[in-house]
Amino acid sequence: MTAFLIVSSNPPTSKIEIDHKQPKHFLLLLTGVFNYFAIKESPMSVGLPNLNEIELKESACLPRENPLDKLNWSSAVMHMLRDRTVWLMLLFVGGTTVLMEVQSFLPLFLRQYLKLDMGSAVYASCSFQIGSIGGVIFGGYLYDKLAAKKLTMFLNLCMIVCTGCYIFYWRMLPVMSKVDVFYTLFVIGFFLSIPYYLPASVFSMVYGGQRFSGTLAALLESLGFLLTMTFDYYAAVVVKEHGWSTFFGILAVASMGTTAIFFLVSSHPTLITRRH
């Protein structure tokens, strides 16, 4: 470049300007390429996150391959029905669905026991639903925060509290005040809604995988509705023939059995918490 400038004593102005700009463009290009590879090799040196670590974290968050994804629908259903864990979850969902069905009887119970008119009885039964709303929100928060072991302990505690409340109704109903009735209904709704709604939903996604989570959820809910239909018929007969104390006694026994089943289900915490 220097030789060219010396030989050309009267070069055109535009030619000189071009020759002076070309090295600048070349240096800028080299600087850009160097910075690109430098940042790619060590992004943290310039305050950027490590892309390799981000890719590793994203790959770790990807869902693992589910063995059911390779099966057709009928084979997947047969695989589910042969699994002991699925049957335990079926029984658990059926049990909690029956326990939640108490809300269908609450207006009649409050009308007869507290001598309320039908409108007031329906309004008063909302204490159960209010507790359920609070329980689902609180339980969902804990589901995302607690480790698997602590979460399964909390879910078992919820079932134990529900069992205690039904036993309380069974044994203490004749001497319970209105405040006791409403407060206990709120507590049942709060603690029962957590194991009723959350574990089965997570179990369906984890066990069923991307292809059959809906099928598994349908199986779980179908058995729950079947048991609820049976319970409604016989529970109405029990209330008519033996009164409300016996009705809550049956629910207490059902809650004990459901708690025992969930204790077995919680031996597989990964399937109900999605944590290892």
- What average pLDDT values come out for the chain (276 residues) when binned by 10 residues? 44 45 56 60 54 48 64 85 89 94 93 89 92 94 87 93 95 90 95 93 84 88 91 93 94 95 80 60
Taking the mean position of all CA atoms in its chain, how far away is CA 202? 5
Which sequence spans correspond to the domains of the chain? 2-61, 72-273
Q: Domain 72-273: which topology?
A: Growth Hormone; Chain: A; (1.20.1250)
State the pLDDT at residue 9: 45
Q: What is the pLDDT of residue 1?
A: 46
Report the pLDDT value the prediction gives residue 30, as an integer from 0 to 100.
61
Nearest CA-CA partner of 159 in 107, 205, 198, 108: 198
For the entire predicted model, the pTM comes to 0.71
258 Cβ neighbours under 8 A, 6+ residues apart:
91, 92, 95, 96, 98, 99, 159
Q: Report how far residue 245's alpha carbon sits from residue 251's, in angstroms, rounded to the nearest whole number.
A: 10
Q: How far is CA 215 from CA 189, 212, 226, in A?
A: 28, 5, 17
